[in-house]
Every structure is written in C-alpha cells, then in structure tokens.
Amino acid sequence: MSKPKILVFASGSADGGGSGFENLVVSSREGKLDAEIIAVVFNHQAGGVWIRAHKLHVPFTHFPRPWTAERYQEIATRTGAQTGGDFFALSGWLKLVTGLDPATRFNSKTVFNIHPGPLPEFGGPGLYGHHVHEAVLAAYKRGKIGYSAVCMHFVTGEYDRGPVFLQRKVVIKDSDTAEILSRRVNQFEHEHQPSSTNMIVKGWISWDGINPDSLQVPEGYLIEDIA
C-alpha cells in the first residue's frame, strides 16, 4: 500500500531557510513520518530551500508571484499532489494561501501550517519570522505573557486563523533577544512538526474544513494553553 504524499511549501530566503522542510524529509526517510515528501514549492528561484532540495534529491517547483488561487491549484496538480490521500504542509511559507477548494484535494482539511508563536494573539498579516518573536518579547516585557509557543493549525483563507491542533509552550528568558528566542522556538518546531504531521496523514488529527468545533485530536494529545 502506497504512503500518503506530502507537498511542502517553504519560502526560505535568498540564501537560507528550509530547515523545517529538510526535517520533514529526513523524518520521512527515517520512518518517523509515515508519508512521502514528493516535492517542495518555494518562491526564491535559487535560494536556501533550493539548496536543501538539491542536496536531498527532492523535486522542487519555483512559485513566484502572483500567488493566485488558480496558480495554487495549478501547482498542486502539476506536482502530482491532487490524487489519493495527499496533504500540503506549509513550513515557513510566508504567502497567503488562496484557491482552497473542497472539490479538490487542495482544501482546508488537507493544508496545514506551523507557526512560531502563540495563536491567535501573535498571528495574522505581517506576523511571521522575526516579527513574531519581536512582538512576543515586547508582550513578555509588558507582563502580558509568560511563554512563547510553537503552534500548528489547519489553513483557511485568512492568515493563521484555522483551528489550532498543536500548541507547545516555549520558555522565554529575560536575556532573550528575538534571534535567541527564534533558535529555541525552531528547536521545538523540529521536535513536534514531524509527529504532528504524522498524526494528520494517519487521520488521527482532522476537521471538516468548515466548523472549528469539528476538530478531532487523539485522546491525551494536549493543546497547551499559554500561561
């Protein structure tokens, strides 16, 4: 029986990024993630993600602007990720996803994202990467929060507003800078992303794509509140 297929979207940068994508590929090849990474989509023509994809011998697809609904669907079809039990992992993909269509495999039940901060408070337009960590640190210094977090959620037509199925606390230290906190959060991302992705492809984490109250997670699988 063939394994579920995952198409990864990862922006990276012109000269770096893509560590989450690489982590998923390695986890798949080591058997920690029971799925096949069929390709990676990126928006930098020869950036950090391309370098990792080349090293890992993973097919890659350049996806420059415009990021329209039609082009998202075209990318999903062209990479062969519109058949069977396929899924779509956003791993550092910074563009708004459009074109989610329940009549196709590319829909809100199959597309999921990882976010480097507490949701929903530290998500939305403009809150990505170091911007998240800066906002979290500012709130921490005001006494508004005690922790950062790694979150994973299903994707809808709005930035970071789909139902959250994973939220793991990440300690903040008084001496932290955004860069230091980013490294600590990234460690947690690498720890939890493959296992949560595995639960999705096995159907242990799911929702109906419409009603957040339909979210299903395994018994005992904790969604941690922010202290």
- 3-state SS, the chain, equals CCCCEEEEECCCCCCCCCHHHHHHHHHHHCCCCCCEEEEEEECCCCCHHHHHHHHHCCCEEECCCCCCHHHHHHHHHHCCCCCCCCEEEECCCCCCCCCCCCCCCCCCCCEEEEECCCCCCCCCCCCCHHHHHHHHHHHHHCCCCCEEEEEEEECCCCCCCCCEEEEEEEECCCCCCHHHHHHHHHHHHHHHHHHHHHHHHCCCCECCCCCHHHCECCCCCCCCCCC
In a domain, 44, yes or no: yes
Residue 226 has pLDDT above 90, yes or no: no
In a domain, 90, yes or no: yes
pLDDT digits (tens, 9 = 90+) for 151-180: 999 999 999 999 999 999 999 999 999 999
Per-residue pLDDT band for 1 (boundaries 50, 70, 90) equals low
Packed helices 129-141 and 178-201: angle between N→C axes, nearest 10 degrees? 120
**Per-residue confidence (pLDDT) for residue 114, from 0 to 100:** 98
Name the token pair of 226.
């922010």
Q: Which of 24-38, 186-200, 210-224 has the lowest mean pLDDT?
A: 210-224
Domain interval for residue 151: 5-212
Residue 207 has pLDDT above 50, yes or no: yes
Say if pTM beats, i.e. exceeds, 0.85.
Answer: yes
Looking at residue 154, its amino acid is F
For all residues of the chain together, what is the average pLDDT? 94
Residue 31 has pLDDT above 70, yes or no: yes
Residue 219 has pLDDT above 90, yes or no: no
**Per-residue confidence (pLDDT) for residue 85, from 0 to 100:** 72
In a domain, 202, yes or no: yes
**Per-residue confidence (pLDDT) for residue 224, from 0 to 100:** 66
In degrees, to the nearest 5, what angle opens at C-alpha 21 toward C-alphas 68 and 226?
A: 90
In a domain, 218, yes or no: no
**Per-residue confidence (pLDDT) for residue 27, from 0 to 100:** 98
In a domain, 181, yes or no: yes
Residue with tokens 């090849």: 29
- Domain with residue 129: its CATH number is 3.40.50.170
CA 154 to chain centroid, in Å, comes to 9
In a domain, 221, yes or no: no
Name the token pair of 33.
């993630």
In a domain, 146, yes or no: yes
Please give the tally of structural domains in the chain. Answer: 1
Looking at residue 2, its amino acid is S
The residue count for the chain:
227
Name the token pair of 67.
């990021």
Residue 223 has pLDDT above 90, yes or no: no
Looking at residue 13, its amino acid is S
Instruction: Return the number of other C-beta atoms located less than 10 Å from residue 116's C-beta.
Output: 27
In a domain, 224, yes or no: no
Angular region, 66: left φ>0, alpha ψ -120 to 50, beta rest: beta
CA–CA separation, 169 vs 167, rounded Å? 7
